């Protein structure tokens, strides 16, 4: 009989529980959660626009490639279109992979939140059940008698406060259970949505990976057909000359941006001194300041590839096929076996770009304005702004008319260095 009345009391609480209050609470929590996630939704919307833009560019290049193939224009320009498409596909994949990782973190957090809420609700229910049992046993049935039986006025006041506290606590427990139930329902729905979105993203990732593999395979077939064509080799050489100037311009832009931020920091400090107040604006922080010295690694620097031979040295080089002398601002390493490209030292990924002649290019910034440049990357595993340690795989070497060649440069400020003097002897 006691169990029946206990269940009845709990059922009454679950069914009634002030329906209007619960409904208003549900609407309020849902509204607040939507308000809190609004900046995140704006970020997702911007990211989706970027993904859509990439897809449009990729499709446009696909049409150009198909048109050239129909017209049988198997030339260097077609290879560059393949290279550019590979770069965009790789960028799209990085974004999708990043989203999958974010979803996994979000799902893990939501699962923990759901478990915590379930435990919390169960504990509150048990506490409330104990209170109902106490009422049934008559512990708090005759409050007046409990107060009148006090031996003094002070004891009566203490008992009154005690009873009031118990009553308030019960009301608070009921409110907590209601709020946690509503939040639990919302979090479960959110979790289900995140899981569905993750499934769709994984399917998209697998699809784009297949497209990328097909693209690389088609480009490889084309390269095998024209790799000995002198006209194509000449065009590739000219493209590399233009790419060198673009690399120089990108590094100059990075230096200017670094100077601008440092000047901004100094101005902010002067402002604080003059005003005597603290500036609440976020301060510029150079992440490379925490890195070890790059300069001290001269002659001991890790190689960007595990195995490879230098195809072209730093400085002047004779191209025997074209019988021309060219200037190399870095070194070209012909890889064998392992095609992974590794960071030569700890740094931050400052630039990921595509340049005709060098394909996908990654620039890392090290301490004291030293930078390393990696060209001819077919697939990139890092993102701009990411901090990488020495030996971190940043991508794989792509295939050019001469094979799997990594173009590697080292810069100090605006001056390019001879990488041979920096790399450890083998």
> Which tens digits make up the pLDDT trace of 317-327?
777 666 677 78
The answer to whether the CB of 350 falls within 8 A of the CB of 374 is no
Domain count, the chain: 2
Residue 300: band (very low, low, confident or very high) from pLDDT cuts 50, 70, 90 = very high
Domain boundary among 194, 211, 226: 226
CB under 8 Å to 63, separation ≥6 — which residues? none
Identify whether residues 206 and 271 lie together within a single domain.
no
Same domain, 152 and 259: no
CA distance 422 to 410: 9
pLDDT for 369-425, tens place per residue?
999 999 999 889 998 999 999 999 999 998 887 788 999 999 999 999 999 999 998
| 175 DSSP assignment | H
> Apex CA 35: angle with CA 30 and CA 37, to 5°?
95
Give which of 283, 328, 288 is closest to 310, Cα–Cα: 328
The larger pLDDT score, comparing residue 248 to residue 280, is at 248
Domain check: are 33 and 145 in the same one?
yes
pLDDT of 207 reads: 77
| pLDDT at position 279 | 45
Q: Is the pLDDT of residue 33 over 60?
A: no
Give the model confidence (pLDDT) of 12-23 as tens digits: 344 444 444 554
**Which residues, 6 or more positions from 306, have their beta carbon under 8 angstroms from its beta carbon?**
337, 338, 340, 342
Answer with the residue of higher pLDDT: 246 or 106.
Answer: 246
In this structure, the answer to whether residues 221 and 246 fall within a common structural domain is no
Helix (H) or strand (E) holding 35: helix 19-36
Locus of tokens 């030996």: 391
Q: pLDDT at position 2, please? A: 40
Match 């990357």 to its residue by tokens: 377
What is the mean predicted confidence (pLDDT) over 42-71?
A: 69
Structure tokens at 81: 């279109």
The pTM of this model reads 0.61
* Residue 128 to residue 109: CA distance in whole angstroms: 28
182 in the same domain as 294: no
Is 367 found in the same domain as 248?
yes
Q: ∠144-150-155 over CA atoms, to 5°?
A: 110
Are 207 and 246 found together in one domain? no
**Taking a C-beta distance cutoff of 8 angstroms, is the pair 26, 34 a contact?**
no
Query: Which ranges constitute the DSSP H helices of 227-375?
Result: 230-275
Only one residue has tokens 């060209």, namely: 375
Q: Which residue has the higher pLDDT, 228 or 93?
A: 93
Q: Are residues 252 and 331 in the same domain?
A: yes
CA distance 396 to 314: 22
Q: Are residues 332 and 411 in the same domain?
A: yes
Tell me the CATH number at 387. Answer: 2.70.70.10
Domain final position from 185, 210, 226: 226
153 and 51 within one domain: yes
Final residue of a domain: which of 226, 259, 294?
A: 226
Pair (218, 234) in one structural domain = no
pLDDT at 132: 62
149 vs 412: which has the higher pLDDT: 412
pLDDT exceeds 70 at position 269:
no
Can you give the residue range of the structural domain that contains 167? Answer: 2-226
- Residues 174 and 248 both lie in one domain: no
For 95, 111, 185, 200, 204, the CA distances from 194, given in Å and listed in that order, are: 17, 11, 14, 10, 15
Contacts with 134 (C-beta within 8 Å, 6 or more apart), sequence order: 140
Residue 196 predicted with pLDDT over 90: no
Contact (Cβ atoms closer than 8 angstroms) between residue 348 and residue 289: no
């Amino acid at each position: 009989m006691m169990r029946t009345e206990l269940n009845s009391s709990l059922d009454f609480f679950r069914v009634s529980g002030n329906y209007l209050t619960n409904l208003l609470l549900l609407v309020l929590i849902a509204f607040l959660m939507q308000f809190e996630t609004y900046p995140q939704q704006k970020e997702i919307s911007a990211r989706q626009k970027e993904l859509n833009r990439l897809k449009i560019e990729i499709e446009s290049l696909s049409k150009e490639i198909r048109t050239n193939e129909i017209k049988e224009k198997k030339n260097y320009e077609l290879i560059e279109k393949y290279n550019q498409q590979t770069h965009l596909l790789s960028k799209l994949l990085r974004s999708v992979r990043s989203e999958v990782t974010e979803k996994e973190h979000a799902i893990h957090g939501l699962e923990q939140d759901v478990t915590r809420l379930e435990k919390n609700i169960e504990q509150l229910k048990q506490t409330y059940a104990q209170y109902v049992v106490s009422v049934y046993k008559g512990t708090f049935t005759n409050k007046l008698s409990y107060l009148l039986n006090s031996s003094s006025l002070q004891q009566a006041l203490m008992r009154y406060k005690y009873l009031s506290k118990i009553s308030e606590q019960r009301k608070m427990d009921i409110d907590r259970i209601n709020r946690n139930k509503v939040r639990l329902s919302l979090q479960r729905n959110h979790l289900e949505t995140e899981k569905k979105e993750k499934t769709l993203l994984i399917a998209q990732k697998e699809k784009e990976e297949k497209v990328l593999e097909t693209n690389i395979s088609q480009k490889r077939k084309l390269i095998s057909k024209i790799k000995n064509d002198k006209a194509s080799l000449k065009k590739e050489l000219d493209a590399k000359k233009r790419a060198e100037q673009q690399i120089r311009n990108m590094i100059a832009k990075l230096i200017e941006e670094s100077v601008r931020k440092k000047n901004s920091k100094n101005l902010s400090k002067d402002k604080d001194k003059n005003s005597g107040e603290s500036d609440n604006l976020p301060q510029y922080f150079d992440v490379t300041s925490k890195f070890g010295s790059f300069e001290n690694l001269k002659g001991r620097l890790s190689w960007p590839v595990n195995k490879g031979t230098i195809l072209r040295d730093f400085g002047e080089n004779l191209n025997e096929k074209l019988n021309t002398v060219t200037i190399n601002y870095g070194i070209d390493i012909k890889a064998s076996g392992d095609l992974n490209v590794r960071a030569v030292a700890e740094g931050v990924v400052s630039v990921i770009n595509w340049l005709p002649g060098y394909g996908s290019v990654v620039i890392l910034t090290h301490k004291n304005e030293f930078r390393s440049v990696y060209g001819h990357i077919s697939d990139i595993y890092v993102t701009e702004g990411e901090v990488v340690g020495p030996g971190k795989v940043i991508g794989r070497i792509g295939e050019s008319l001469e094979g799997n060649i990594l173009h590697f440069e080292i810069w100090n400020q605006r001056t390019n260095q001879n990488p041979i003097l920096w790399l450890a002897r083998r």
